[in-house]
Amino acid sequence: MKTEMTFDPAILCRSVAYCKGFVDGFEEGVDTNPYDGGSFSHAEQTRHYYYRVGYDAGVAEYCNATHPED
């Protein structure tokens, strides 16, 4: 069974992992998730997820900023 993580936007926007992912997605377009360390702790999984959400948001914002017509 796969469980999808949920998040509170008020907490998410203050997450270092989310912010790093957003910057990586927006400025570089390269997914370099530093939270792929192989740890199965809840905290590490949460940071991995927040980075991924931030990265996707950064890429989307980059696309909106550079190609608003699409």
| 5 or 18, greater pLDDT | 18
| pLDDT confidence band for 5 (50 / 70 / 90) | low
Tokens of 58: 């950064």
H or E element in which residue 19 lies: helix 16-23
| 39 or 59, greater pLDDT | 59
Average pLDDT, the chain: 82
Listed residue (8, 21, 10, 12) closest to 61, CA to CA: 21
Domain residue extents for the chain: 9-66
Listed residue (23, 11, 55) closest to 36, CA to CA: 55
Q: What is the pLDDT of residues 16-38, one digit of tens each?
A: 999 999 999 999 888 888 888 77
Q: What is the pLDDT of residue 19?
A: 92
| pLDDT confidence band for 46 (50 / 70 / 90) | confident
